[in-house]
A and B are shown apart, each in its own frame.
Chain A
Amino acid sequence: MRKISIVLVTVVLMIMVGCTKQSDSGNNETTNASFDSIVNAIKEQMAKDLKEAGIEEEVLVDGNIMNYFHTNLTASEESDPAIPVWLEKMQLQQEDIANGTVIAAMMSVNADEIIVLDAKEESKVDSLKASLEKELQAQEQTWSQYLPDQYEKVKQNVIKTKGKYLIYITYSNPEQIEKVFDDQF
């Protein structure tokens, strides 16, 4: 009887170890999705949406969407004056991220804002999420006044974490961008 239970326990333990291993490798897969491919897929989706909305000129030029700012958060602060502003605005430490991009509408009265962050370590994910929530508060403050259609986008904002990747979506159909993000894993 005792022998049988030892065998049973061993088998159960092995199965558990096996499972943990598997889910571990699953996690690894998650982090293998590349930051660039996520951002590019998002840009392509945005370009497609703009096309469908009736914009005739080429929207995606040299990897940038026309009339949107693209800010590379890990570039040197001198290279783009918007970088320190975004970092301070979100209380974000540059050394906490391996990669980071902000895509935001340039000057039209448009709340579109998509942020993708790639944490340097898993332990930083929580504080990065707090940064994104801070940005959401700022957008609430900015848009709640009297631009109902844009405020609607902010209210439907999505913040999502997958492994070391975080995404912030203020957009007319956030589910679509969310799906593009999910499909990368």
Chain B
Amino acid sequence: MKILTDTDILDLLNAKDQSGLTALSDKYGALCQKMCMQILGSREDAEECLNDALLKIWESIPPNRPENLSGYLVTVCRRLAIDRRRGALREKRGGGMPELPLDELSACLASPDRPEDVFDGRALTDAVNRFLDTLPAETRVMFILRYWYCLPVSEIAAEVGGGASRVKMTLMRTRKKLRACLEQEGYL
């Protein structure tokens, strides 16, 4: 089965052709579900999240025509999943919520002198983005799949190929490099 380009899918959605929605789901649905599973911990919730995201996209195109359809879908999906997670935690129904990989990231960003405010502000995100820009594409993809998509290492290995050990080691080295980069910029 031929995989449609994002432009083709966008054209279908713009024409309110439901096959566009199917194609979008076929192409990126699995990744979105995996991401939502890691944020919500429930297959049912993950499926609902994806369906809600697809509905939002259906309703918004047209008049919107996102420059990047895949990014648009996964971003909408992630926001929905985060909102749902926040709600569950607020209502103390979050006992089964999966753990996010925030410890890994905070370990490489922590500074004894600035224990909390180091995480504040746009400046840090900009610095991280500058760093990500210097990385080889595959390394950057692994980093994003881990810390934005919250995928487990095994799923990342399936996405990029190779074994989980390679992914794990690459992430560890990348975190070390990130820390070194932030230290050099005087951020830590």
Are A and B part of the same complex?
Answer: no
